[in-house]
Every structure is written in C-alpha cells, then in structure tokens.
Structure 1
C-alpha cells in the first residue's frame, strides 16, 4: 500500500498560495477544499482560484467539492486541470454520470462520505471511482478534532475495496496529524489529507515527511 500525503491549502495562507504550494513540493497532492456555504457552512475558493493554482503549482491538485449540485460543476474542475475531483454522495443526484464525466475529462474520480454516511450502500460504485474519501470530521472547517468513531468504517471500506479487487485509493480527511495518522493507516487508509498539521508546522515539508514515515510504519 503506497502512502500518499495531500496537504490541505485550507490551512495555508491564501495570500501566498503559490509559495505555500511550493513549500510542500515533496507532497503527492495539494488538497483543495471547495466550499459553497450551502452544502457546508463555510465559503472558500472556487474554479478561478483552482485554475490559477494549477498554473502556479507543480504538484497535482486534489479537488474536494463540498458543494451543492456537484453534478453541474465537477467536470469543470477536471477540465481546469485538477488531477483528482471528489464529489459527495450526499449532494450528487446523478453520481455515476458525474463520476464518468470527471474521468472523461482526464481526472481521477473520487466519492466522499460524511462521518454518518454508511459505506456499504455504495459498494457497487467502486468500479466507477478511483478514490473513496471518508471524512473523519464533519465537513466545513479545518482544525477540527479527529472522530475515532469513523475508524471502523475505514476498516470496512478497506475490506470492500479488497473484495472488489480494483485499484481504489482510500483517503481520510479531517484531524489527520501525527497523533492520528497511524490509526488511520492501520485501519487501511492510504491517502491522507492534512491541513493544520502541515501548514501549522514551522517546516511544512518536514511535516509532510514525518507524516509519511508514521503512516508507512503503521501500514507495515
């Protein structure tokens, strides 16, 4: 299981995004939280910023759409050059069609589940996705405390992915830090979103390396 670290720019300095992206050039992805103040109670950035960041950053963009009507907007993020675009099952009305459109536009397609959303009903969609994202906090704000209650769902998701037999990545997002990443890796996650744990550190690049080492050690 290859560990991947995706620092969340939600915790970065928005006035210096190009520099903040360069500060974690050793990361696998840059996680971009797109929020519309409707699906979640926060407003962050949208397509124009993603387009600009794509030109300024060498690291591929991992766009997480926490928005209403992702069926309408998700393909545009893929067309803008995002390497991965994730939509929420709670918001999508036509997830299969949207996931296929994301892939057709050249991006990896991700499906996200909130903490209270069971994973089993979506097992049949594993063939339509490249990544399953399990929220380990309630979506909307960075810096929240990790929800241990989600760990059994991470284990179950890993079991379902293994049974499916495809190459689906399992991402966790929310409260991922040195104190929690090992538990996530032990449960079966292999892609880790970390915001304040990276950008709140004195040396973000060193924080990325430290988190990767912890996850790799726990994954065995």
Structure 2
C-alpha cells in the first residue's frame, strides 16, 4: 500500500489546524513533521510544543523526522507527546541500534534515514530492525528543493536489499516530490511519500487528493 505523508514544513502556520484537517479529510494517512536543530542541518524548525499542540487535531499517524544531533537524548519526549513513527539519521549518531531500541522501548515504530551522499550499505545492519527506511531525495534542512536524480538509484538499491532478505520494510522518500515525479519514485521502490510544497502550496485538500489518486489510493 502506498502512503501519503504531507509535510507540515510547507504549511501555512497561521492556518495549520485547518490545513491538517483538509489533508486528513482527503485521505492522507500520515502527517510528516520535520524537527531540525540548526546543528545537524542548518535550519531550525519546530519541536515538542508544536507537535503536542496539534496531536489533538487529528488521528493521523504522526511521522516525526528528527534531523538532530545525538537523537537518543530526546526519544522519550517525542514518544510521550504523540509521535507514532520516529525516524532519525544514521549520520547523527554513533550507535544507531541504541536509538532504534530506545524508540521501540516506548512502543513506537522506528525509521532510519540517510542523506543523498551516504551509501546505502550503512543500512545493512538495520534492515530487519526498523519499520521504515527514509531515503532523502534532497539535502536535508530546507523545503522546496528539487529531487536529486541519483537518489532514485538509492531507492532501487534499498528495495533490492530488502527483497533479498524478504523484508516488507517501508521505504519513505522525502524531498522535491511533485505530482510530476511521484510515479517515478514509486516505480523505484518507495511506498511512503513525503510531500510538502506539492500539498500545501494551494488547496491542501485538493492537492492531497490528487497525489493519492496518482498513488493508487
């Protein structure tokens, strides 16, 4: 099943509650929440108070993407405020397995992410330890970028690695996804699609519905 995860990084924050309701009504299954610390990535986004404040606005799966250094420090807090999936970067920790174990200890699904220049081989030890792998299709830290074409090969590599082990682990893609290229990333092997500007620039509900139709939902 293909899943749409609209990224609120591109939302209009003065109308955030309404826009969340619009994408929820359209049928989007996840809500992607980018947490940036200004250290692991140059930008600073939002953190726990925002997530906690919108948790009561929807029953959508909160797909929280931690772009922060040493993520294990904050797993408990993000779990307690309503995250359902917590994804961290392989590059941000010296002990990915410890982070995975910490996420699972709170009954949450774990995801591991890599940047465009990180080889997929670093994921090999964790393929059967996580519920989702996030292949960044842009450099993390800023919205509105164009998809980097070489990342399509990374998606194919990850899917081949999973197929070889007969694993059904989700592959998420994040960055530069549009109505024009979403079919391409699906064909490459992704099944969880993060879309920011493609959803929230314009009528969020209509855009989400159109993307879901392309995804076959």
- Match for residue 211 of structure 1? 211
Contact 2:55 2:82 (8 Å CA) reproduced:
yes
- Match for residue 9 of structure 1? 8
Contact 2:3 2:29 (8 Å CA) reproduced:
yes
Mean CA deviation greater in 44-53 or 191-200: 44-53
Unpaired runs of at least 5, structure 1: none
Measure, in 2, the Cα distance between the counterparts of 1:77 and 1:88: 15
Q: What's the TM-score once normalised by structure 1's chain length? A: 0.93
How far is the alpha carbon of 1:48 from its aligned partner?
1.5
**What is the number of equivalent residue pairs in this alignment?**
215
Larger RCO, structure (CA 8 Å, separation 6 or more): 2
Matches within 5 A, 1:56-67: 56-67=57-68
SS at match of 1:96: helix
Seen in structure 2, the aligned counterparts of structure 1 residues 153 and 86 have a Cα distance that, compared at 3 Å, is same
How far is the alpha carbon of 1:207 from its aligned partner?
1.4
Matches within 5 A, 1:49-198: 49-198=50-199
SS at match of 1:216: coil
Cα distance per residue 1:37-77 (max 9 Å; x no partner): 11111111001111111122221210000011101112321
Q: What's the TM-score once normalised by structure 2's chain length? A: 0.95
CA RMSD of aligned residues (A): 1.3
How far is the alpha carbon of 1:116 from its aligned partner?
0.3
SS at match of 1:19: helix
